[in-house]
Each structure stands twice: as structure tokens, then as C-alpha cells.
Chain A
Amino acid sequence: MSIGNIQEYSGLWVFVEQRDGTPAQVSLELLGKGRDLAEKLEVDVTAILIGHNVSEMAEELIFYGADRVIIADDPIAKDYRTETHTEIIVEQVFKEKPEILLIGATCLGRDLAPRVSARLNTGCTADCTELDIDKEMGLIVATKPFFGRDLMADIICPLHRPQMVTVRPGVMEVKTHNRKRSGEIVYIDVNCEEEDIKVKVLETMRAVSDGMSLEEAEKVVVAGMGVGTKEGFEMVQEFAKLLGAHVGATSLPVDEGWVSEDKKIGQTGKAIRPKLYIGCGVSGAIQHSAGMINSELIIAINTNPKADIFNFADYGIVGDVSEIIPALIKELRAVKG
């Protein structure tokens, strides 16, 4: 499939993920970032919203940065399905030819984006942590941590359109909600027939929330490779509990099975921005720091004084987790009485 003249492609689109009529946090983050990028390119930001009975959200999306909201509202799109969402987005992309399409790298986004990119025969850069515009080339530059220690890659998509990028939730900031912003709302027809769609959703099960999520936690204590053993990990948990903090982890404790995957922080896990971050035996490699660098106060405990984390920690303790954490537990118990 030929995309024609790439000069015809203009404008920045954000796919808005929604659940029960509420936009996903990452979509609001992308509207904010999209605004900055669009201003550099001097183009508009369009939000594309798909679902059933979702139009009430449209105005909010304008307040968060959209100049225009495209709504595909149809019972067939009530549940997310790869086929319907892909069909709707691709048809609209063919009609309007946006130059950039941003999608949140959630489970849904990571199912949708590669499918859309394959149908449009265009490039998609996955799980980016920074986005910028190269004004000279008129291209979006998507930065992502690359396999290997501290490697970053700047990826471009020069000859195909739209340039697609997925962005990890939590790494961009939500822009201020501005009620004075105005924009256009456009309804489009959905041309999908149920009998053509091969995948059916038989059941949806929501996990019961265990209180505040890691992303929203004010304090997070993170266990890294330096905790050494399961017992070491449990000690860090004990410390977190006394401090009233959530527990997070780098890859190792997750891979060892000491803690579930949903506690992983970093490039392939969650991105957090708590008021207090305490890294216990965390070295601070980019795969992890990509998910925590926006924390307000960073405290690091590591035996290696040259560990990367000391380059961006506010306070550092050069010492062994197995000695420092018991002392902290003792101190906290004394303080709490």
C-alpha cells in the first residue's frame, strides 16, 4: 500500500483510551505532551476517542489540550477489540492523513499500535520515554531506553506516515486542565459489522483494587539486586510497612519470584513519581530509572559508591542493605513507640 506524498500528512493525533467513560491517565499525559510537540510543528492536536456513550468526555479532552476531538460512538465499539479499533483508526487516518499518532503503551495500546502500524505499513516506536521534534527534518524523535546498560536510542520514521509512537504511562506530565480552551467535536460513522469481527469478548473481570496503586503512592521503597535474598527482600518490606510506604522492585526481585510483576518499576514496569523514593540495593540503571526519575526526594542505599543512582539521588548511604535496613527498622520502631 502506498502512502502517497508524505507532505500531505499534517497534524498530531492522540488515541484516547477510555474505560467506562473515563479517559486513561496516559491519554491525558499524551494530550499535554502532544500540545508541546504540535506547537513546535505549528499544527493542531486531535484526540480520537472510540467507544459507546463516550461523548461526555470530549469537552474534558479539549480542556486537557486537544483542539479537536473525533468521536466514534457505536455499540459495536463498547468493548475494546483489536479489529474494530484498528478499522476505525485506519479508515480515519486514510481520510485525514495525520503526520503523528501517539498511543499510550498500556496493555490495550500495545495490542492496538503494532496492528495499526502494520496495516498502515508505517513505523511504530514502542515504549518511549521522551519525545521531541526535529524542526529541520520535521520529524518526531522518539527516545527509548535501549537494551543494555544506560543505552538510549533516538528513533525516527522518516519515510512513512503517520509516525507512530507508544509512550509508557507515567513518564509524561498531565498539563493543567484549562477550562477556557475551546475546540471542535466531530462525530464519525463506524463502518464495522459484528459478523465480520472474529474476536468476541465473553467475559470481563476487574481486579479488586488493593487500595492505592503504586503509581499514586506518596512513598515508595524499592528493592533492587542488592537485597540479595528473599529474606533481604522481606526485610525491605518490613521497613516499608513501618514507614507507611508502598513496595516496588527492580527486575531481579520480580524475576526471582519474591514479588509480583505489578510491583516492577522501570522501562518495562510502572513509572512512578512519589514524594519519597528510597532505593535499597538499587544501582539505578536506565531500565529502572526511566520509571522513577521524576520522584521528588530520592534516597539511595547501595554498597557501591559509584552506582549510577548516586548521580541523581538527593541523599545517599554507601552501605549494605543488610546492615542499614535493620538499623532503620529499629529506629522507626523506637520513633513509633
Chain B
Amino acid sequence: MDIVVCIKQVPETSDIGWDPKTGSLIREGVEGILNPNDKNALEAALQIREQHGGVITALSMGPRQAEDALREALSMGVDKAILLNDRIFAGSDTLSTSYALSLAIKKISRFDLILCGKESWDAMTAHVGPQVSELLNLPQLTYATEITIHNNSVTIKQKLENGFRILASSFPALITVEKEIDQPRIPSMESIMNAYRDKEVQVWTNEDFGEHKTHFGLKGSPTQSRKVYIKKVHKGKVAILEGKPDEIARNLIQLLKQKGLCCGIYVNWQYTRI
């Protein structure tokens, strides 16, 4: 069972600048981490390999520093790591990113499954999984909380707003995983050292793909940020309740009573325990 896992390096903090001209986030120089949800995809791949064998390749696109995310994947235990890195790729929207990833996966050529996190925690579009599936003409199984490998098929438990579905597909297929699917392993100090010292991160550029330049980067992206701006919502003046906690509480409850919002009984009230 050969698996490609698509991963992304995301900024560690949400306090990040953007380029007012292009509307793109400025990722250079910002501390990056491996997207937490992608760790679930890596863990799922490692667990499948433990059962069924095969080769796991971690694939990422990003600036040179995204290599660190791939080193982390190597330290978790993947076999190979590939970084798509080229100035031409900069500023890609989701479709353009998916295009580059799909070309890389075609070049890898041997795979039975592609695993992705459901979404990245910076952009959170959840686009790349489905778009890569489409560009490779593969069935997509999204929002998996369980994956079961059978002889000639794979089934997942798909999490939806109001319940679950069990979906089945033949191979090859692309699966996006939810964070509750597993508990990603924490690599040992030794495997982290190994990942940096003994393992290789291959770097592929636009040259590795032949003539596809027009599909990459800002120019190859159908969507454009026209404007990025700070929005503060103002609704009018807030009335501040002052005093000691007891007085404030009395005044607030009084206020809610007047508005008929105090002690309505909600019969079906219950917590969701997790």
C-alpha cells in the first residue's frame, strides 16, 4: 500500500503580515509549523503501513523553510519527502496549488492512496484534497474519522454535521482526515536527529514538470485578493455596567428580566460530553 501524504507548513502565529499589493500572506521569516491536521494524515498513513507495508511519501509545496515540515514528517517515520519549491509557485491559490501537487503525484506515479488533512489551520478552505482528486481523476473520500483497508477497496467513516456515513471506494483514492481519526505520534529525539542528519528532502522545481508555467503562482490562480484590510465592527456605544461583582450581577439579571430573557426554561438542555 503506497501512500502519498500532502502536508503544509503554516505560520505558528496568526499575527502575520500581508503584501498589500498581492493580498498574499508574507510567509517568509515567519516561524512555521507542520499543519496540525496534516499530522493526523501522516499518522493514519503510518498506521496503514504498519498493517499493510508500502512506501509513504510526504509532499509539500512552499518556500524553502517548508523543508522543516517535511523533516518533521520524516521524523514521524515517512520514507520519502519532496518539496515543491520555485519562485513561480509563490502566490498560488488553492486551484493552482492543487495543480502543482497533482503534477508531482503523477510524477511519483506509484500510489494506492493519497491522504490529506481536512484543512489547513491558516486558510481553512478544505479545497486542496477535493481539487487534487479531481485533477488526478480519483474518487474522494472526505472527513474520515476511520479508515479500513480491504483487499480491493477502502472504506471510511465520514463525519457530517448530523451524523456519519460509511463510504467505500476502489483504489487508488484520495482521503481527507478529521483530527479525531488518531493521536499523532511524537517523534523521539533520536528520530528527529536522524531526520535532519541522515534523511533527504528532494526539492522539485517548475523544471521538473515541463511546460505548465501558466498554471502556477499568482498568474495561474483564478482567484485574486483584491483588497485585504482590517475590519473593526462598531455597533454604537456600549453601556458599561459598573460596580462590585455582586452589584453588576444584580443589575444584569434585572436587565435580563426586564427584557424577558432571564429564566426561560430550556427543557432539553444537556451538555455534549467528549
Choice from B163, B166, B224 contacting A201 with Cβ under 8 Å:
B166
> Which residues of chain A come closer than 8 Å to B173, judged between CB atoms?
198
| A199 x B238 contact (CB < 8 A) | no
| B228 x A153 contact (CB < 8 A) | yes
Q: Which of A110-144 contact B (CB under 8 A)?
A: 110-112, 114-115, 117-119, 121-127, 141
| B271 x A237 contact (CB < 8 A) | yes
CA distance A276 to B58 in the complex (A): 47
**Interface residues of B, dominant DSSP:** mixed
> Which residues of chain A come closer than 8 Å to B264, judged between CB atoms?
218-219, 244
Instruction: Say yes or no: is B52 at the interface (Cβ < 8 Å to chain A).
Output: no
**Would you give 27 A-B contacts (Cβ < 8 Å), ordered by A?**
A82-B130, A82-B139, A82-B140, A107-B143, A107-B160, A112-B130, A114-B130, A119-B134, A126-B94, A126-B124, A148-B14, A151-B18, A154-B226, A200-B167, A202-B155, A206-B163, A263-B272, A276-B259, A310-B240, A311-B234, A313-B238, A315-B239, A319-B245, A331-B252, A332-B253, A335-B262, A335-B263
Nearest Cβ on chain A to B19's Cβ, whole angstroms:
12
Q: Contacts A199-B167, A336-B263 known; A117 to B95 CB distance under 8 Å?
A: yes
CA distance A148 to B128 in the complex (A): 21
Nearest Cβ on chain A to B120's Cβ, whole angstroms:
9
Closest to B138 in A: A198
Instruction: Say yes or no: is A323 at the interface (Cβ < 8 Å to chain B).
Output: yes
Instruction: Say yes or no: is B149 at the interface (Cβ < 8 Å to chain A).
Output: no
- B residues near A (Cβ < 8 Å) are 11, 14-16, 18, 23, 25, 93-95, 98, 122-131, 133-135, 139-143, 155, 159-170, 173, 221-235, 238-241, 245-246, 248-250, 252-253, 255-257, 259, 261-272, 274
CA distance A68 to B41 in the complex (A): 42
Closest to B266 in A: A244
| B249 x A324 contact (CB < 8 A) | yes
> Which residues of chain B come closer than 8 Å to A187, judged between CB atoms?
none
| B140 x A111 contact (CB < 8 A) | yes
CA distance A198 to B141 in the complex (A): 10
- A-B CB contacts (within 8 Å), total count: 271
| A118 x B230 contact (CB < 8 A) | no
| B265 x A286 contact (CB < 8 A) | no
Interface size on A, residues (CB 8 A): 99
Top 9 closest A-B pairs, CB basis?
A: A211-B268, A123-B222, A123-B223, A118-B134, A327-B249, A126-B125, A312-B235, A327-B245, A198-B139
Instruction: Say yes or no: is A289 at the interface (Cβ < 8 Å to chain B).
Output: yes
| A275 x B261 contact (CB < 8 A) | yes
Q: Contacts A121-B222, A210-B272, A315-B255 known; A204 to B126 CB distance under 8 Å?
A: no
Nearest Cβ on chain A to B247's Cβ, whole angstroms:
9
| A317 x B140 contact (CB < 8 A) | no
Instruction: Say yes or no: is A146 at the interface (Cβ < 8 Å to chain B).
Output: yes
> Which residues of chain A come closer than 8 Å to B168, judged between CB atoms?
199-200, 202
| B222 x A118 contact (CB < 8 A) | no
CA distance A299 to B245 in the complex (A): 15
Nearest Cβ on chain A to B27's Cβ, whole angstroms:
11
> Which residues of chain B come closer than 8 Å to A106, judged between CB atoms?
161
| B262 x A243 contact (CB < 8 A) | yes
> Which residues of chain B come closer than 8 Å to A284, judged between CB atoms?
233
CA distance A284 to B232 in the complex (A): 10
Instruction: Say yes or no: is A316 at the interface (Cβ < 8 Å to chain B).
Output: yes
CA distance A319 to B126 in the complex (A): 38
> Which residues of chain B come closer than 8 Å to A108, judged between CB atoms?
160
Nearest Cβ on chain B to A48's Cβ, whole angstroms:
19
CA distance A126 to B130 in the complex (A): 13
> Which residues of chain B come closer than 8 Å to A217, judged between CB atoms?
266
| A300 x B133 contact (CB < 8 A) | no
| A141 x B226 contact (CB < 8 A) | yes
Instruction: Say yes or no: is A8 at the interface (Cβ < 8 Å to chain B).
Output: no
CA distance A312 to B130 in the complex (A): 37
| B130 x A211 contact (CB < 8 A) | no
Binds B, one of A53-61, A156-164, A177-185, A222-230: A156-164
Q: Contacts A124-B223, A149-B15 known; A210 to B270 CB distance under 8 Å?
A: yes
